[in-house]
Amino acid sequence: MKTVLKKYKFLVFLEVVAIVLLTSCSLDFPVEDEITGFDAIDNVFIANETLSGIYIAYPKNKISFSKLADDFYPNHTIYDNIADYEFYKWNPHEIQVLANYLWNSYYSAISKANVLLDRVGEIRTETGEEQQKLKEIKAEALCLKALFFFDLIQIYCETYGETTKNNLGIILKNEVKSEELSRSSLEDSYKATEKLLLEAIPNFSEIENTSYRFSKISAKTLLAKLYFNWKKYDKAIDLCDEIIAQKAITPAGFDAIWTDLQKSDKNIIVSETILAMEETLSYFSEIYDEQQNEDEYYLNLNIVFENTDVRKPSAIITDTFIKSDNSKIEVNYLGKLRIDVQDTEAKSVPIFRLAELYFIKAESEYHLGKEVEAKEIINSFLELRNASLITISGEDFLKELLKEKQKEFVGEGLRYFDLKRNHFSLDRVNSTDNEFLFSILPTDYRWVFPVGETEMKHNKNVENNKGW
């Protein structure tokens, strides 16, 4: 039986052992010669292979954040997985386990990116083609590092605002050498991430050859997400307009996303997908009970797709569930990357989807006081999904907008950050009959994850978040 974060606990153990062996201070692994050999990164081919390793290092599975949000309801099969049920109920210890794993994973990946970025300027090229390839390798490494910074800001920092911008941000690690650094401000963390992307974007060609590598359009997508969360709404809107003009949402596009992601050929443009990455484990491994051969969670019963909605066939798997009292109910399980619950194969996952830009633009317009424009953009999207349009106004419009976003991205981890960013409360339900247990308030300290325990132990300059 796979318990909550059993995988995380084991991986954290391995990483702690590695850290003890490699360094006695902050999370600065890998050391200079750990990726392929520091001096061995001396040609374009090895640089590209090193870059592939950085893509692999990215923590792609965001389903834990869907569990912390309200995408799922637990069911009684979770009874023998107490740790996972406690995680769903926001038990601080179980959140710390995930926080440790993610902190170590992100900073390990950042160290790998720093090694490559340090070496790439020393590589000699012999042809114009090699020179352009090397420029793009550097641009991709900068974008990956920006992605790591962005995720760390989302997970370990407060929501940006005038009253929080000078509060704790992330550790901006830019050197290969070992350093015990303090956390920069939230404002400086956003600025550093923006700087990486603005340096990277001009170095990409205009041609997008695959969805499985960063490109100019995916770099601009990340920049739009950054500006949106940084509350630079006008800049976010401009980038959304630019990208939406280049890509298309189609009636068949949603189904095609999940079909394309299962193709072995990675030199393709995935439908409605701006960036995808390969995954080595099943995306559903954290919710699937291998002994019972079923998920320990089904979708929140309030997430309902209309029969005409083009997303319904791919997004959900409808089945009969037998409750602990032997009564039967019809429930929806998460579909997307699988056609049945027992499908446990590893498949590629979307990192950025075109649909998100419609929601970013709509919410940005709303926060700028332009509700008419917000309705126009989101309803143009919902029409393409053959879903009902949003007609209500005011704060109810925002709630409905986020409800539609939850339907589009259910199980992909975005809902947690939408609730956090907008300071909404969150209800927990029990696993027997999904009755209300308690609410997580917007002021709860657990919305902001704790710094990794190993970092706290070995870096005397780091400060933890409030409450931890």
HEC profile of the chain = CCCCCHHHHHHHHHHHHHHHHHCCCCCCCCCCCCCCCHHHCCCHHHHHHHHHHHHHHCCCCCHHHHHHCCCEEECHHHHHCHHHHHHHCCCHHHHHHHHHHHHHHHHHHHHHHHHHHHHHCCCCCCCHHHHHHHHHHHHHHHHHHHHHHHHHHHHHCCCCCCCCCCCECCCCCCCCCCCCCCCCEHHHHHHHHHHHHHHHHHHCCCCCCCCCCCCHHHHHHHHHHHHHHCCCHHHHHHHHHHHHHHCCCCCCHHHHHHHHCCCCCCCCCCCCEEEEECCCCCCCCCCEECCCCEECEEECCCCCCCCCCCCHHHHEEEEEEECCCCCEEEEEEECCCCCCCCCCCCCCEEEEEHHHHHHHHHHHHHHCCCHHHHHHHHHHHHHHCCCCCCCCCCHHHHHHHHHHHHHHHCCCCHHHHHHHHCCCCEEEECCCCCCEEEEECCCCHHHCCCCCHHHHHHCCCCCCCCCC
Spatial contact of 100 and 308, defined as CB atoms under 8 Å apart: no
The residue ranges of every structural domain in the chain are 1-60+91-160+170-205, 211-442
The span from the CA of 225 to the CA of 231, in Å, is 10
pLDDT given at position 436: 98
The span from the CA of 107 to the CA of 140, in Å, is 17
Task: Reply yes or no on domain 1-60+91-160+170-205 having CATH 1.25.40.890.
Answer: yes
pTM of this prediction?
Answer: 0.93
The neighbour count for residue 293, using CB atoms within 10 Å, is 11
Q: Produce one character per residue of 203-234: b if its CB has 16 or more CB atoms within 10 Å, e if not.
A: bbeeebeebbbbbbbbbbbbbbbbbbbbbbbe
pLDDT given at position 178: 78
| Backbone torsions φ then ψ of 322, nearest 5 degrees | -95, 115
pLDDT given at position 148: 98
The span from the CA of 353 to the CA of 358, in Å, is 10
Tens of pLDDT, residue by residue, the chain (468 residues): 444 454 554 444 444 333 333 333 344 434 333 444 556 899 999 999 999 999 999 999 999 999 999 999 999 999 989 999 999 999 999 999 999 999 999 999 999 999 999 999 999 999 989 999 999 999 999 999 999 999 999 999 999 999 999 999 999 999 988 789 999 999 999 999 999 999 999 999 999 999 999 999 999 999 999 999 999 999 999 999 999 999 999 999 999 999 999 999 999 999 999 999 999 999 999 999 988 889 999 999 999 999 999 999 999 999 999 998 999 999 999 999 999 999 999 999 999 999 999 999 999 999 999 999 999 999 999 999 999 999 999 999 999 999 999 999 999 999 999 999 999 999 999 999 999 999 999 999 999 999 999 999 999 999 999 999
Q: What does the block give as tokens for 189?
A: 């963390």
Q: What does the block give as tokens for 394?
A: 């005011």
pLDDT given at position 179: 85
The span from the CA of 38 to the CA of 49, in Å, is 13
Bridge-based pairing state of the strands 288-289 and 328-334: unpaired
Going by C-alpha positions, the residue among 413, 442, 412, 407 that lies closest to residue 155 is 413
Alpha carbon of 379 to those of 13, 153, 263: distances in Å? 48, 30, 31
* Same topology between domain 1-60+91-160+170-205 and domain 211-442: yes
How large is the angle between the packed helices 216-229 and 186-200, nearest 10 degrees?
160
pLDDT given at position 27: 41
Class of domain 211-442: mainly alpha
Q: What is the dihedral sign for C-alpha 34, 36, 39, 43?
A: negative
The span from the CA of 401 to the CA of 68, in Å, is 20
Q: What does the block give as tokens for 83?
A: 């740790």
Residues near 277 by beta carbon (within 8 Å), at least 6 away in sequence: 55, 58, 60, 212, 348, 349, 351
The span from the CA of 64 to the CA of 246, in Å, is 32
pLDDT given at position 30: 40
Residues near 109 by beta carbon (within 8 Å), at least 6 away in sequence: 54, 57, 58, 59, 144, 148
pLDDT given at position 39: 65
The span from the CA of 291 to the CA of 77, in Å, is 10
* Ramachandran bin of 275, using left for φ above 0, alpha for ψ from -120 to 50, beta for the remaining angles: beta
